[in-house]
């Protein structure tokens, strides 16, 4: 039955709109909840990766200090060269 042909009484059209509004509200709440969970999981994953990278860089720098210094010097020179242009 089409909505345009329904009679407007106490339960007809208003009831349908309330059901639709309620369904949209429930869907929006579920979507917001799932998005929040995904974002939280992503942030935790990023924190774990950054901790791992920091630990690996510390270990590498401690094992090879001169090579690390050379790499840092080259990267600094390259950045300075590209920033000046």
With H, G, I as helix, E, B as strand and everything else as coil, classify residue 25: helix
DSSP 70: H
Residue 39 resides in a domain? yes
Residue 12 resides in a domain? yes
Residue 73 resides in a domain? no
With H, G, I as helix, E, B as strand and everything else as coil, classify residue 64: coil
Give the predicted TM-score (pTM) of the model.
0.49
Whether residue 44 contacts residue 51, with contact meaning beta carbons closer than 8 Å, is answered with no
Distance of alpha carbon 37 from alpha carbon 6, whole angstroms: 42
Q: What is the dihedral of CA 75, 54, 50, 83, to 10 degrees?
A: -20
Q: Across the 85 residues of the chain, what is the mean pLDDT of every consecutive 10-residue run?
A: 49 76 84 85 88 92 93 94 87
pLDDT for residue 1: 44
How far out from the chain centre does Cα 21 lie?
A: 28
Domain tally, the chain: 1
Q: Which domain holds residue 42?
A: 3-60
Distance of alpha carbon 32 from alpha carbon 4, whole angstroms: 33
Residue 65 resides in a domain? no
pLDDT for residue 20: 86
pLDDT for residue 16: 82
Residue 76 resides in a domain? no
């Amino acid at each position: 039955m089409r909505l345009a042909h329904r009679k407007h009484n106490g339960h007809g059209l208003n009831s349908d709109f309330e059901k639709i509004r309620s369904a949209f509200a429930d869907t929006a709440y579920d979507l917001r909840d799932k998005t929040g969970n995904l974002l939280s999981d992503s942030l935790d994953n990023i924190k774990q990766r950054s901790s791992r990278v920091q630990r690996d860089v510390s270990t590498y720098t401690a094992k090879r200090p001169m090579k690390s210094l050379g790499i840092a010097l080259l990267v600094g020179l390259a950045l300075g060269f590209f920033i000046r242009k």
